Amino acid sequence: MKKFLGYILSPIAILVFLLELVIFQPIQWISYKLFGYTAHKSVVDFLNLLLTHTVYLLGNTVKFINNQNLPVGRPMIFLSNHQSLLDIPPLIWYLRKYHAKFISKIELTKGVPSISFNLKYGGGANIDRNDPRQSLMEMGKLGTRMKENKWSAIIFPEGTRSKTGKVKPFQAGGIAIILKKCPDALLVPIAINNSWKMIQYGLYPLNTFTSMTWEVLEPIEPGTGTVEEMVKEAEDKIKKALGQIS
């Protein structure tokens, strides 16, 4: 029944999602070119609020849980498992006061309304996976911006999305580069649950009446272990929150 309803409701949700991206493209351009970073960020935040609520057109729900007393004005590295592209709007909206920047494939900086513009001018790192030197430099530049501006970063250490929700092994390389430039960054795990179910049939039909959660877990202070040990600790915290380890 949920899949059947997806055939009916998906065109509505997809159309609204795409319209939001198209409408906010010129708004982003104007806000950035005329008023600068702060205005542009506010527009991007509001866009991602709307994108987050688009899933409600399918009967789906988004619950963001943050019971941690995270510091404002201190750089942080949010380490999250990755289940779908729909993971991103709630992270941008609910973590907006921490100025969290993404690490993205450079290919996404072209051709996608609103998203490409934000990736180019929002302050994140756009890496070429075929050019290790460029990738290392971009990550280093992001770490420097985090230190100078007290920004944060959102990283999906699995590297690719999990199509079943099972957490893949975390990679520590990019995090190590950022910590080298921004050694005081607090490591904050985030467990995403069930967003993979929304696209378990692909982009059409989207699944319906699915409860999805994003939960901020206990932070890890830098320097409490090697980078590899801290990343493994974050991975285990996420797996435990998802019931994948005891």
Task: Give pLDDT tens digits for 35-67.
Answer: 999 999 999 999 999 999 999 999 999 999 999
Give me the number of domains the chain comprises.
1
Say if 21 falls within a structural domain: yes
Say if 155 falls within a structural domain: yes
Say if 204 falls within a structural domain: yes
Treating both helix axes as pointing N-terminal to C-terminal, what angle do 37-54 and 2-30 enclose, rounded to 10 degrees?
A: 170
Residues constituting the chain: 246
pTM of the model: 0.95
Say if 9 falls within a structural domain: yes
Confidence (pLDDT) at 129: 85
Say if 128 falls within a structural domain: yes
Amino acid (one-letter) located at 107: E
Q: How confident is the model at residue 27 (pLDDT cuts 50, 70, 90)?
A: very high
Confidence (pLDDT) at 245: 84
Say if 193 falls within a structural domain: yes
Domain extent at residue 212: 2-241
Say if 246 falls within a structural domain: no
Task: Give pLDDT tens digits for 167-205.
Answer: 999 999 899 999 999 999 999 999 999 999 999 999 899
Percent of the chain with pLDDT over 70: 100
Instruction: Please answer whether residues 116 and 28 qualify as being in contact, where contact means their C-beta atoms are separated by less than 8 angstroms.
Output: no
Mean pLDDT of 20-24: 98
Confidence (pLDDT) at 159: 85
What is the full DSSP assignment across 163-213? Answer: SSSPPPPP--HHHHHHHHH-TTPEEEEEEEESHHHHTTT-SSSPP-S-EEE
Say if 125 falls within a structural domain: yes
CATH number reported for the structural domain that contains residue 37 in this entry: 3.40.1130
